[in-house]
Amino acid sequence: MLVGSGAGFLGAIAGVGGGIIITPVLTIYFGVPLTQAVGTSLIAVITTSAASSSVHVQRHVADIKLGMTLELATALGAAVTAYFAPYVNRNVVAILFVIFLCYSAYNIGKKMLQSGTKAPAGEIPHYEPKHYPLGLSSSLVAGGMSGLLGIGGGPIKVPIMYIFMGVPLLVATATSNFMIGVTAAASAVVYFRRGDVLLTAVVPLVVGVFVGSTVGAKAAHKMNSRYVMGLLIAIMILLAIQMAIRVVKGHMG
């Protein structure tokens, strides 16, 4: 429950869903097999989206039209890769996760430096999303990473929307939170039917994630985000190092 609360809170603030924390934590600290950790994490990501996106939609921050457009590609990528995940070597998946953690830490750090000292608040400036082909292609990749690694694809979609599509940071984060639930659901069904969802871990995680995500979404509009982003980056780097060590020692199975 504590892991879920922390992951949900940070995921809602950064728009990454929390799966990027939950999957390696379940594997490293709770001894959950990687495939089951991915399937279990996807259920938690759905909860993060449901809790946080409802707040953002109510405040008219999430761009529903943009989210639904990008989600077409994301859901396709998530559903397809979920079927092939069991046939991929666990060490390969773990290495991909290490790379993805480092990539996400870099992009969130870059976003933190560009966003100033506080999370964006107040009126959202006028914008018109651009570079839709890039957005759709990156969403397809984000969906694939979601189905393979148990994340919502937010660490890819938030930087793409913000840096390349010209979407304000707060809108990009809120729209990502809106999308990640559908993305995770597209592949979670496959994992659940295979029996790769650990129900004994899902229940406490979902409770914690729901509470953390709700608080995080409400706090995102008025809190200093630099400290939260910094903590998230530190956690991801630590998990990347520990998972890399397990791969080197041959503990991934």
pLDDT attached to residue 40: 92
pTM, two decimals, is 0.73
pLDDT attached to residue 108: 72
Q: What is the DSSP string of 38-102?
A: HHHHHHHHHHHHHHHHHHHHHTT-S-HHHHHHHHHHHHHHHHHHHHHGGGS-HHHHHHHHHHHHH
Please name the residues in contact with 81: beta carbons below 8 A apart, sequence gap of 6 or more.
143, 144, 145, 146, 147, 148, 187
pLDDT attached to residue 54: 76
Mean pLDDT of the chain: 82
Which residue pairs, CB below 8 angstroms and at least 24 apart, start in 116-122?
Answer: 117/224, 117/226, 118/223, 118/224, 118/225, 118/226, 119/13, 119/170, 119/220, 119/221, 119/222, 119/223, 119/224, 119/225, 120/168, 120/169, 120/170, 121/170, 121/221, 121/222
Residue ranges of the chain with per-residue pLDDT less than 50:
117-120
pLDDT attached to residue 208: 94
